[in-house]
Amino acid sequence: MNQILVTEKLYITPELKRKKKFYKFEFFLSLLVVCVLSSYYIYAEYNKNRDEAVSQDILAQANIVGEDQTTKPTDKLVVNLDNDANVVDDSAALDNLDAESKNIFTEEFTTADGQVFKPIATIRIPKIDVYYPILSETTDELLKKAPTKFWGCDPNEVGNFCIAGHNYRNKKFFSKVPTLENGDVIEITDTKGRTVKYTVYNKYTVTPEDVSPISPLTNGRKDITLITCTNDSKNRVIVKATEVL
């Protein structure tokens, strides 16, 4: 009987107690890691939704209801843009716009660093329920608010109007642009009140070092180029479209 009691006590040694404490510590550490990762994910989603709300607020200034990274430009694709491109300051030009468009194109928006900008156009892609303002230049902060002019001519002019937008992989901004196919329609409305329809004629992927998609050579056509990132953010999805004549 004494031998049995001694044997049972051997199973509850200090070493076994330490192991139990260690296993408990591992368990609580795992819970902590899960909580931290979950909090990070929730915060990231909150930021994305907040950025989406900012973009929709721009359209809401005109009571327009819209549905709904290009990763942000890297030093391999950074270009200097004209900060005053297509800013409406001509009353004659405003007379050509309807009330909703006037509200959009005359509204000013200020970034955290005090930079003031205006939309220069709107982009609508019916197939994927995209409708956003296009902001006048590309910066990290502006890309979080809406698609932006990355390079090229003014909206709806002869040349290559390049538009950058984030791929958040959640149906917002340009997340669904990689699903476009030849023949799909893209509509650009500019500050002169003109709405031009473009049809997609090419889609391909390039590395960040390849700047050929922003070439201004269009043989006299009005072209647009949409730029967003692949789902792994390593390369760039390019969608080319030309004016419907």
Q: Is 162:151 a contact under the CB 8 Å cutoff?
A: yes
Question: Which token pair is 148?
Answer: 């932006």
**What is the pLDDT confidence band of residue 197, given thresholds at 50, 70 and 90?**
very high
How far is 124 from 138, CA to CA, in rounded Å?
19
Residue linked to tokens 């709300």: 53
Per DSSP, what are the bridge partners of residue 189? 122, 195
Q: What is the CA radius of gyration of the chain?
A: 26
Domains present along the chain, CATH in parentheses: 44-243 (2.40.260.10)
Range name among 55-59, 111-115, 158-162 with the lowest pLDDT average: 55-59
Quote the percentage of the chain above a pLDDT of 70. Answer: 56
Q: SS3 of 13, please?
A: coil
Q: Which tops the pLDDT comparison, 160 or 208?
A: 160
Task: Determine which of 27-36, 74-83, 88-97 has the lowest per-residue pLDDT on average.
Answer: 74-83
The pLDDT assigned to 90 comes to 45
CA dist 66 and 133 (Å) reads 10
- With 50 as the cut, is the pLDDT of residue 49 above it? yes
233: left (phi over 0), alpha (psi -120 to 50) or beta: left
Which residue carries 């390019």 as its tokens?
238
CA 135, CA 117: separation in Å to the nearest integer?
7
CA distance 121 to 155: 7
pLDDT, mean of residues 147-153: 92
> How many C-alpha atoms does 144 have within 13 Å on its Cβ side?
12
What integer pLDDT is reported at residue 140 of this predicted model? 83
Q: What is the pLDDT of residue 136?
A: 85
What is the pLDDT of the chain when averaged over all its residues?
A: 74
Of the candidates 88, 205, 71, the one whose C-alpha atom is nearest the C-alpha of residue 150 is 71
Give first-to-last CA distance, the chain, whole Å.
101
For residues 117 and 21, the model is more confident at 117
Tens-place pLDDT, residues 157-173: 999 999 999 888 888 88
More confident residue, 178 or 73: 178
Q: Is 160 helix (H, G, I), strand (E, B) or coil?
A: strand
* Residue with the larger pLDDT of the pair 215 and 44: 215
What is the SS3 assignment for 60? helix
Choose between 143 and 43: higher pLDDT. Answer: 143
Residue with tokens 């007379």: 95
Task: Please state the φ and ψ torsions of residue 140, each to the nearest 5 degrees.
Answer: -55, -45
> Cα separation of 155 and 213, whole Å?
17
